[in-house]
Amino acid sequence: MAGPCHLPCSLLPAHPSDIRPLPILLVPCNLPGMRYGIIKTSAGLVGVADSGKGLRRLTLPRTSENAVLQELGVEVTEGSARDDGAFETIVRLLRRYFEGESVDFSGVALDLEGMTAFRRRVLENVRAIPRGQVRTYGEVAAGVDRPGAARAVGGVMAANPVCIVIPCHRVVASDGGLGGFGGGLEMKESMLAMEGAFAAA
């Protein structure tokens, strides 16, 4: 039997210019008790921020700490405490995920306070997409009773604050294309192939 599909550092685009920082949500993150850290995984460095109520930010793998800090945003990194050792559970889950294991993130508490009702519903809908499956932007829109709002769903995906735990990479275009992705389409395809949704190119 073949071993698990891994996501090594080669998952990251060869050229830094291929990586597009995700848009930062206009949701305050400099909350009392906010802390953040940078996690080393086999796919790269991942940033995480927690409000004490749950995760507020989780970035895609990046090649440098500066890139991670940029994506976390100044509203997280300024006035918040950095504590790389404070995220034992999510560290363990992320490292297993990037080694190709099937990981259940459903028990990870999220703090989505300050978001619109539509954005929360979209993110909750996408969080429920099982590993190995995909949904189109239109299907997600229909799933939150907003048929015809596929473009708005795409906007929510582009600003997903907690990537991987809310698997925005599992949302694709209706024409069979990958759609967009803040980490680049190569990374999106690799993640879907690892999960068994798409065959590896």
Tokens of 44: 């790269």
CA 148 to mean position of chain CA atoms:
24
Where are the chain's structural domains?
19-98, 117-195
CATH topology identical between 19-98 and 117-195: no
Span 86-135, pLDDT tens digits: 899 999 999 999 999 999 999 999 999 999 999 999 999 999 999 999 99
d(CA 45, CA 56): 17
Residue of 31, 34, 39 whose CA lies nearest to 62: 39
Q: Is the domain covering 19-98 a CATH 3.30.160.70 domain?
A: yes
Instruction: Give the residue carrying structure tokens 């069979």.
Output: 176
What pLDDT shows up at residue 120? Answer: 97
pTM of the model: 0.83
d(CA 135, CA 140): 7
Is the predicted pLDDT of residue 196 greater than 70, yes or no?
Answer: yes
Span 23-67, pLDDT tens digits: 433 344 455 568 999 999 999 999 999 998 999 999 999 999 999
Mean pLDDT within 166-185: 93
What pLDDT shows up at residue 23? Answer: 40
Q: Which residues are catalytic?
A: 168
d(CA 161, CA 56): 7
Do 58 and 162 touch, CB atoms closer than 8 A?
yes
What pLDDT shows up at residue 39? Answer: 92
* Mean pLDDT (the chain, rounded): 84
Query: Domain 117-195 belongs to what architecture?
Result: Orthogonal Bundle (1.10)
